[in-house]
Structure 1
Amino acid sequence: MLALLRKQLSTHPALIPLFMFIGGGATMSMMYLARLGLKSPEVCWDHKNNPEPWNKLDPTHQYKFFDINTDYSKLKKDRPDF
């Protein structure tokens, strides 16, 4: 399979950027999914020790990937303690 791919790329070098962009896009999408699964407060992998991890977050904790106008250091707590 790999030998066939190498033969195709050597005879058609215009396919090299196509494979590079498809590979880069697949890599970036897998990295983003891994980040969502590991860093997002809505995802709970350990249901026995900490079933609600979103309740233990500080209100100044930035968990969004990109936010333009919010200064997280000046936020006040707007939810009760449980």
Structure 2
Amino acid sequence: MMFRTAVEHAKKHPGLVPQFFFICLGMGGAFMYLIRLARGPHVTWNKTSNPEPWNKLDPTYQYKFVAITTDYKNLKKEGPKF
């Protein structure tokens, strides 16, 4: 139904054809990017056979941590003096 409406608009206004093309291309690219992210090396979709996949990582694996707090004692100045 929606595709039929787009075709009817494109017949009436031929300048919309590139816009429809690039919108579809962008949506397809975004979809493929999300699929690629979901298939990462440490992502599992099967929770029954491997419910805790992080236990299979070896001890030399470098984890990514985020620092929530900052040690303000090591800072030399509060800010610039004008």
The Cα offsets for residues 35-76 of structure 1, whole Å up to 9 and x where unpaired, read as: 1112x13422223333216716xxxxxxxxxxxxxxxxxxxx
**Structure 1 gap ranges (5+):** 57-76
Of structures 1 and 2, the larger Rg is shown by 2
Number of residue-to-residue matches in the alignment: 58
Equivalent positions of 1:1-80 (< 5 A) are 1=1, 2-38=3-39, 40-50=40-50, 51-52=52-53, 55=57, 78-79=60-61
Output the TM-score relative to the length of structure 2.
0.54
Identity, in percent, stands at 31
Q: Choose between structure 1 and 2 for higher RCO, CA contacts under 8 A separated by at least 6 residues.
A: 1
Output the TM-score relative to the length of structure 1.
0.54
Q: Structure 2 counterpart of 1:27, which letter? A: G
Please report the RMSD computed on the Cα atoms of aligned residues, expressed in angstroms: 2.4
